[in-house]
Amino acid sequence: MLRHRLLLLGMKETDDFEKADFVLFNTCAIRENAENHLYGELGRVKGIALKKPDLFVAVCGCVMQEEKPVRYILDHFGFISLVFGTNNIDAFYDLLEESLKAKGLYVDVRSAPEAIVETEGDDTAGRQSRITAFVDIAYGCDKFCTYCIVPYTRGKERSRKKEDIVREVLMLKEKGYRQVTLLGQNVDSYGKDFGDNYAFADLLDAVAGTGIDRIRFTTPYPSDFNEKVFDVMAKHPNVMPSLHLPVQSGSDIVLKRMNRRYTRKQYLDIVHALRERLPDVYLTTDIIVGFPGETEEDFLDTLSLCEECRYDGAFTFIFSPRPGTPASRMKDDTPDEVKHERFERLKTLIDSLSEESAKKMVGTIQEVLFEDVSKRDTGMISGYDRHGKLVHVKGDLSLVGQTRKVRIVESHTYSLIGVIDD
């Protein structure tokens, strides 16, 4: 959204810090390494700012909602012009104006979220490319998983009005976008704050009704997941057959300590219902290893759950204590080596499941929406099949924006190689 708004102001992007007149850091606080990365990048810019006194540097996002890092940044990086958080992001243009007037450092971090501001004709969606875009459907989170900083940095859950979401998708479609990804921390609790019965399944149905080519969504929360969503997925061919359903752990004891509001069995029941109803759906997840007090037995429960779900892919993380969260104060006596060793064992299993899933695709025909030149090989063009699997084919830029039938000829853990077959 912010990148797009800067482009609307007439700015041009550069990959080269040295050339930039304006630098904006949008920060993530979800794990400690993201925060450390920010300090490293600010250090790099510091050298440039010394040579270029007019350089405008702004820092925003989740890290700015935390007291300590903001103090650290202000003490160590005096060249910054603007600091704002997640709660007043809608007022970005006003913030820019105020900070230009202030001519020194301008800080505006709000502890509570403002009401969602929608401007007629405003184009707020995050753009991935000219072809695919992110559309926010809800902000914030009320779940308070004990390891997670999001409820503190993003505030309480607020849903955008369905008319605004549908209007935005229609506008994107008109502009030639082919895919939207609906975004929320818990998409399936969409609309709970409206107090009527309008739910995520209804919204998905309405967005599918716009006729845009491809719709994806992330992230559903298992215990809020309503099987009505399966019906909508089955009904509309433009809702893509993939589901990212974070499980975090396969152990009931750990799930409870994480304050995840489902049991292993409830999660598996959803997965079995999914596989039965929509056998073609590609299932992925998020898993945390080394949560405080996780035993070998708990970890084995996670491995066995992965085997049972036969995930097509997963994001795996080592627990990172976040300041102010309950889990950061829990007793954690698992040595780091043990956590890393578990992480590697999990990764080996996930990679073998992903490879197995990719191998099954060889010889099949998949519909691929091409997005860009391959990052690995400039003679190849990359896109995604309907399941969300990355596919590379030999070709030129004229393929970008097209959906073509592709015969898969080779599989790797994270991608497929194919040839056009239509």
Binding site for ligand SF4 (CB under 6 A): 141, 143-145, 148, 150-151, 185-186, 221
The partner in contact with residue 31, picked from ligand SF4, ligand SAH, none with C-beta cut-offs of 5 to 8 angstroms by kind, is: ligand SAH
257 near ligand SAH, judged by CB under 6 A: no
- Restricting to residues 120-179, which ones interact with ligand SAH according to CB under 6 A? 147-148
Which of ligand SF4, ligand SAH, none does residue 151 bind (CB under 5 to 8 Å by kind)?
A: ligand SF4
Total count of residues recorded for the chain: 422
* Secondary structure of 86-138 as H, E, C letters: CCCHHHHHHHHHHHHHHCCCEEECCCCCCCCCCCCCCCCCEECCCCEEEEECE
Name the residue nearer to ligand SF4 (CB basis): 145 or 240: 145
Write out the binding residues for ligand SAH, residues 371-390 only, by CB under 6 A.
none
> Smaller CB distance to ligand SF4: residue 2 or 30?
30
Question: How many residues lie near ligand SAH (CB under 6 A)?
Answer: 15
Half-sphere exposure for 153 (CA within 13 Å, toward CB): 27
From the list ligand SF4, ligand SAH, none, partner contacted by residue 144 (C-beta under 5 to 8 A by kind): ligand SF4
**Residues 253, 301: Cα–Cα separation, whole Å:** 10
Q: Coil, strand, or helix at residue 165?
A: helix
Binding of residue 248 to ligand SAH (CB under 6 A): yes
Stretch that binds ligand SAH, among 15-23, 43-51, 271-279, 317-325 (CB under 6 A): 317-325
Phi then psi for 167, rounded to 5 degrees? -60, -45
| Closer residue to ligand SF4, CB minimum distance, 186 or 249 | 186
Residue 101: CB atoms within 10 A of its CB come to 8
Q: Give the DSSP letter of residue 72.
A: H
Q: Smallest gap, in angstroms, from Cβ of residue 420 to ligand SF4?
A: 39
Is 30 among the residues that bind ligand SAH (CB under 6 A)?
Answer: yes
Exposure string for 283-293, b = 16+ CB within 10 A, e = fewer: bbbebbbbbbe
Integer-rounded Cα Rg, in Å, for the chain is: 22
Write out the residues near ligand SAH by the rule CB under 6 A.
Answer: 30-31, 147-148, 185, 219, 221, 246, 248, 286, 288, 317, 319-320, 322
